Amino acid sequence: MADESCLPELREALSGSGVEAAGGAGALVEAASRPADMTVAAIVGCAGLAPTMAAIEQGRTVALANKEALVSAGDVMMSAVARHGTTLLPMDSEHNAIFQCLAGNDAAQVRTITLTASGGPFRDWTADQLARATPAQAVKHPNWDMGAKISVDSATMFNKGLELIEAHHLFPVGLDRLRIIVHPQSIIHSMVEYRDGSTLAQLGPSDMRVPIASCLAWPSRMDTPCAPLDLAAVGELTFRAPDEELFPATRLARAAAEAGGAAPAVLNAANEVAVAAFLAGKLPFTRIAVEVERLMDRYAPPVPASLAEVIAVDAEARALATQQLEPA
């Protein structure tokens, strides 16, 4: 476990079980390096980068739920996946949906990949309403039960922007073939259109147990306690284009992906600092994207060639983002 202060309590709880317990950053890496049929990488933030890389380097199967692995260190991580022959299974609902839609098909036959977005709690709000949005309102996601940070990312659409960067690494069909569409019902989790005009979509409830089960049982299937999808009860599925004037996060994420190098890591770090400031009541909702763009414009470090360099870029970007939020 990461928090060493809780280790004595854990060891006491596991007493006599034969399960070894350890704590701290080094212990996480050591655990991820041990032989396993599958390692699930689900530690939030850059704290999960080193353990994820350690698991990848074992050349087995890694089910990836950590966004930062591919957003901040995509080139470094994917290079390691190829080098070690690791099987990488996407556990995020949108990427898992794409993975399922691609099953048995050649990516060269793909015309477009579309990630769906719920639009978050503010999808129907005006600019004036967004300017007055509160943290309590931002964390009330209409479809998913999520933590505060990812809920705010959904409200700003940064979550979908980060997923676009992830998809760019997982499914290298070209950024120009990646699309985002707002789908308020969150029933279709992503779609793949092929060159013949056929579009395959993965549908399911807004329940993370579905993509988790998909990864854990792959290449087979397993039962889940999720209720069957009742489309008659859902009634209708609607779609609309994202509004990048009101929600510029997806535009910024695409620009970071196009720039490559350290740009996605800078975007991610700046967003995390800005979201924390918003949740603390120190920054208006509409300033989150503004602060991210400010840092992207002023900080362009060299392309990181290793995980250590990615982590260094992340640390410096966070420091600069924090500094630019301080009163003049």
Q: Where are the domains of the chain?
A: 23-90, 91-248, 261-328
Average pLDDT in the 25-43 region?
Answer: 95
Indicate the pLDDT class of residue 144, thresholds 50, 70 and 90.
Answer: low
DSSP 306-325: SHHHHHHHHHHHHHHHHHHH
Average pLDDT in the 292-304 region?
Answer: 97
Query: What pLDDT sits at residue 225?
Result: 96
Beta carbons of 175 and 75 less than 8 angstroms apart = no
Neighbours of 120 (CB within 10 A): 26
Beta carbons of 153 and 162 less than 8 angstroms apart = yes
Judged against a pLDDT cut of 90, whether residue 112 lies above it is answered with yes
Q: In the chain, pLDDT over 70 holds for what percent of residues?
A: 98
Query: What pLDDT sits at residue 44?
Result: 83
Task: Residue 59: name the closest of 31, 29, 39 by CA.
Answer: 39
Classified by CATH at the fold level, domain 23-90 comes out as Rossmann fold (3.40.50)
What does CATH list as the number for 261-328?
A: 1.10.1740.10
Residue type, 144: W
Average pLDDT in the 189-218 region?
Answer: 96
Query: What pLDDT sits at residue 145?
Result: 67
Query: What pLDDT sits at residue 143?
Result: 66
Tell me the pLDDT tens digit for each residue of 220-242.
999 999 999 999 999 999 999 99
Burial class (CB within 10 angstroms; exposed 0-12, middle 13-18, buried 19+) of 250:
buried
Judged against a pLDDT cut of 90, whether residue 245 lies above it is answered with yes
Tell me the pLDDT tens digit for each residue of 53-91.
999 999 999 999 988 899 999 999 999 999 999 999 999
Average pLDDT value for the chain: 95
Query: What pLDDT sits at residue 328?
Result: 65
181: β partners: 116
Query: What pLDDT sits at residue 46?
Result: 83
Beta carbons of 77 and 53 less than 8 angstroms apart = yes
Reduced to 3 states (helix: H, G, I; strand: E, B; else coil), residue 89 is strand
Peptide bond into 219 cis (omega under 30): yes
Judged against a pLDDT cut of 90, whether residue 312 lies above it is answered with yes
CA distance 75 to 5: 34
Judged against a pLDDT cut of 90, whether residue 51 lies above it is answered with yes
Judged against a pLDDT cut of 70, whether residue 28 lies above it is answered with yes
Average pLDDT in the 244-259 region?
Answer: 98
Query: What pLDDT sits at residue 29?
Result: 96
The secondary structure of residue 239, as a DSSP letter, is -
CA distance 299 to 83: 31
Tell me the pLDDT tens digit for each residue of 113-141.
999 999 999 999 999 999 999 999 999 87
Task: Return the beta strands (E) in 187-322 as ranges.
Answer: 188-194, 199-203
Q: 0.75 exceeded by the pTM?
A: yes
